[in-house]
């Protein structure tokens, strides 16, 4: 930020509840509130979210040891 005081507020949409909020007013970015941050964490812990895994076409399912 340039510090001129003329910056426009940055508006974001909460990924949990879809509410638009001013980023400068949230202490839980990228969420609108600590509650939405905890809801998102709970979804990761319940395994509702996940990262895609690409299987090796050669059939090796075990990762190599470093």
Question: pLDDT tens for residues 18-51?
Answer: 999 999 999 999 999 999 999 999 999 999 998 8
Residue 6 lies in a domain: no
Quote the tokens at residue 25: 């007013």
CA separation (Å) from 15 to 22, 38, 60? 14, 12, 36
Q: Is residue 18 part of a domain?
A: yes
On whether residue 56 sits in a domain, the answer given is no
pLDDT score for 1:
47
pTM: 0.66
**26 in a structural domain:** yes
Please give the residue that has the higher pLDDT: either 45 or 9: 45
Answer whether residue 31 is part of any domain.
yes
Q: How far apart are the C-alpha atoms of 53 and 43, rounded to whole Å?
A: 19
Domain of 31 in residue numbering reads as: 11-45
Distances (CA, A) of 61 to 19, 22, 53: 41, 45, 11
How many independent structural domains does the chain possess? 1
Distance CA 38, CA 31 (A): 10
């Amino acid at each position: 930020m340039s510090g001129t005081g003329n910056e426009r507020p940055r508006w974001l949409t909460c990924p949990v509840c879809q509410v638009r909020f001013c980023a400068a007013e949230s202490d839980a970015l990228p969420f609108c509130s600590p509650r939405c941050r905890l809801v998102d964490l709970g979804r990761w812990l319940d395994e509702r979210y996940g990262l895609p895994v690409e299987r090796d076409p050669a059939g090796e399912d075990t990762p190599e040891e470093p």
